[in-house]
Amino acid sequence: MPYSVAMPINRSLLGELTQELATTRKLLSRLPDDRFDWKPHGKSMTLGQLASHLTEIHTWLPVTLATTELDLAPVDGPKREGFQATTTAQVLVKFDEAAAELLRSLEQAPDDAPWL
């Protein structure tokens, strides 16, 4: 009688995530350094702030997988400073580091973790 073994959840996500990371990196690599202060709208963040934020988002999963709680603004702790790039090269260095750590964290995540 044939049987099937379910693929671990983290493994099923890795292929799609790898593709999305490549697409995001391609977009970030095309940002012109001389336009980092440009805003798509008067109320928007600058292009540099948006690129920095998009890059920093990729650092969140390893933290999420490693902790059960997270306080980004502790009453008695230091204020969290976000990543703020001023060049495309800085964005790409940070993105590559974050993407590598993100993939490592997801590969090592146990399938029975309550958050998967």
Averages of pLDDT over each 10 residues, the chain, 116 residues: 64 89 98 96 96 95 82 79 94 98 89 62
Q: Please report, in angstroms and rounded to a whole number, the separation of the first and last CA atoms in the chain.
A: 30
Cβ(81)–Cβ(26) under 8 Å? no
- Which one-letter DSSP state was computed for residue 82? P
| pLDDT score, position 21 | 97
Q: Within 10 A of 77 (CB to CB), how many other CB atoms are there?
A: 9
Among residues 19, 6, 8, 5, which one has the least CA distance to residue 107? Answer: 8
- At 43, the amino acid letter reads K
